[in-house]
Amino acid sequence: MRPATVALFLMTAITLGAFGQISLKYGMRQYGDLGAPGLGLVSGVVRAIFTPYVLLGLACYAVSSGFWLVVISPGGWALSYAYPMIAISYVGVVLLSRLLLGEAVQPLQWVGILLMCAGLVLVARFGAATG
C-alpha cells in the first residue's frame, strides 16, 4: 500500500480516537457520577455505556480500530513505527478539550506536548516505516 494511503488511514484513526475521547467525556459530564464501588459502580458503568454521547465515543473507537488495522496490516507500516504516531491523538485531545470542553491546560502540559511532538518528529525522521 502506498505510504500516503497508510498515512491517511492513520490520521483518520487518530482523529476518530480523539473525537471519541471528547464524546466520552461529554457523555460522562451529562451522565454524572457512576455510583458507589462494587455493584453500584458496575451498574453505573453499564447504564453510562448506553447514553448517546458515550455510545458515540465507543463507536468512534470501533471505527478507528478498523482504520488502525489497515495501518498495521502487512501492506501497512511496522508497529514500532506506527504506534508512536498515536501520540498525535494526545495533542488533539488536549486541544479539543480546551476548545470544546473549556478545560484548562497548564503551561507545563504545553511543554510536555511540545516534547511529545519533538519525539514524533524523531520517530518519523529516523524510524523505519516497514519492517
Give the pLDDT confidence of 73-131 residue by residue, as tens digits: 999 999 988 998 998 999 999 999 999 999 999 999 999 999 999 988 888 888 777 76
- Residue 34 confidence (pLDDT): 85
The domain locations on the chain are 3-126
The three three-digit cell numbers of residue 82, written as one number: 506506527
- Residue 30 confidence (pLDDT): 93
- Residue 131 confidence (pLDDT): 60
Q: Which residues contact 15 (CB under 8 A, 6 or more apart)?
A: 92
The three three-digit cell numbers of residue 49, written as one number: 455505556
* Residue 69, amino acid: L
The pLDDT of residue 9 is above 90: yes
The three three-digit cell numbers of residue 19, written as one number: 473525537
Cα–Cα dist 54/95, whole Å:
20
The pLDDT of residue 31 is above 80: yes
